Amino acid sequence: MADTITMTEGQLGARLRADAKGAPKAVLRAMVSAAQRGKSFIVGKSPVDRGLLRNAWKVIKLSILNEVHLVNDQPYAGIVERGARPFRISSEGFWYLKAWVMRKLQSGEMNGRSSLRTHKIMRRRKTENLEREAENITWAIAKKFERVGMRGKRFVMQNLPQLASLMDSEVQRSLSVFFNRPLGDRNG
């Protein structure tokens, strides 16, 4: 059975004016809340090496424009998401790539793939210098970058439907709370 609310014309006019004034604020609050929920969701979907990309997600509220942005300001976020065309790696880039390979070799993370080449590398590791091995692996990676580029992870694109769903549900929830508030409550 539906609830019935009885009010005078003056009360109805005041309520409509209050709703019209407060609804945009309620929607903006809902968008901020949804962006925060989206941030925690996409952080869990972000690829991790050292956590810099994962920790760079931010929610930015632009009150004047009534906009909320969920952004990642890490310089390489776009490359991780969309990839890169074939390119020649610079000497500085080679050095950083080699440092990454050294870190992966020392942590044992490069041992996880089982292939004939990996087994040969593992046998040679016992006799050859780790630095030389990292140099060879880095060179092979750099040559692959020159041939085929880098494939993007598409972790944001794949999760856009879930992010949109979070936004929809949060805005609906907030508007429901706002419009179903008690008559005397002027705060949305």
Cβ-based neighbours of 85, under 8 Å, separated by 6 or more = 149
pLDDT in tens, 58-80: 999 997 888 999 999 999 999 99
**Confidence at residue 127, expressed as pLDDT on a 0 to 100 scale:** 41
pLDDT in tens, 142-175: 999 999 999 999 999 999 999 999 889 988 888 8
pLDDT in tens, 14-49: 777 777 777 788 888 889 999 999 999 999 999 988
**Confidence at residue 116, expressed as pLDDT on a 0 to 100 scale:** 45
Q: Is 137 exposed, middle or buried (0-12, 13-18, 19+ CB in 10 A)?
A: buried
**Confidence at residue 147, expressed as pLDDT on a 0 to 100 scale:** 96
pLDDT greater at residue 8 or residue 30: 30
- Look at residue 83 and give its three-state secondary structure: strand
- Between helix 130-148 and helix 91-107 the angle, nearest 10°, is 120
- Tell me how far apart the terminal alpha carbons of the chain are, to the nearest angstrom: 26
What residues does each domain of the chain span? 9-77+152-179, 86-148
